[in-house]
Homo-oligomer: A and B are copies of this chain.
């Protein structure tokens, strides 16, 4: 089979890492994958901060709500929405950048950050490494901004822990593909209460299979997180960094 398709179709998060560091060549190839990814209008409104220092990784693990794999993995890469660079370019051309003040700008940066994150993960997995994508750094973005010395018009939107896998994980089941793939127009009937109940059962089985006694059914977990704005600092912190000030 096509090795790239095989990697893409077998995505999983491996949360257990050995102490073995990444080689410079491995890390370079990972970063290059994100660097070569597309960005909206070739704006290149994404940057990475590569953290190998153990103390800094331990601090990031703590900031992200206590995620031990961030401290354990030899490398953590923070993906930034970066309209600081573009603002310099716009200024060099004699204009003042305003796009970052809008949801449109923040959204463009977030999509581009997602592309970079996907490319980082795949380049790591293509070299036999394991990855854990992390959104938890948004829990206390100010702490990340301080730790990584992030300037205005940058925002730490997500990141990824990368290392050699100790104990391979299993792939998590998804909702039926009919709820994801729509033909020509959106089928609002695809996700019915029956489908949700069946997937809750599938996920419960999965938690039992991997020995996670604290695993919740899918709908219950989503309810717990999405009945509120879990990382409620995102808007005020983004505003403090200079984003989203358009009204």
Q: What's the Cα separation between A105 and B43 when bound, in Å?
A: 24
Name the prevailing secondary structure of the A interface residues: helix
Q: What's the Cα separation between A108 and B12 when bound, in Å?
A: 19
Q: Are B46 and A229 neighbours in the complex by a CB distance under 8 Å?
A: no
Q: Are A219 and B112 neighbours in the complex by a CB distance under 8 Å?
A: no
Q: Are B157 and A107 neighbours in the complex by a CB distance under 8 Å?
A: yes
Chain B contacts for A8, CB-based, 8 A: 32-33, 36-37, 119, 122-123, 126
For window 122-177 of A, CB contacts with B under 8 Å fall at 122-123, 126-127, 133, 135, 138, 147-151, 154, 157-158, 171-172, 174-175, 177
Q: Are A104 and B196 neighbours in the complex by a CB distance under 8 Å?
A: no
A234 CB within 8 Å of chain B: yes
Max count, chain B CB within 10 A of own CB: residue among A32, A114, A138, A181: A114
A5 CB within 8 Å of chain B: yes
Chain B contacts for A205, CB-based, 8 A: none
Q: What's the Cα separation between A169 and B85 when bound, in Å?
A: 27
Q: What are 23 residue pairs bridging A and B, where the CB atoms are less than 8 Å apart in the complex?
A: A2-B127, A4-B126, A10-B36, A34-B180, A36-B174, A41-B221, A50-B182, A50-B184, A52-B184, A84-B191, A86-B222, A88-B193, A90-B219, A92-B219, A93-B223, A95-B223, A97-B227, A98-B228, A103-B234, A114-B116, A148-B182, A151-B188, A235-B246
Given A2-B29, A110-B114: 13 more A-B contacts, CB < 8 Å: A4-B4, A5-B32, A86-B222, A90-B223, A95-B226, A99-B230, A103-B234, A104-B138, A104-B232, A110-B111, A111-B114, A111-B158, A112-B114
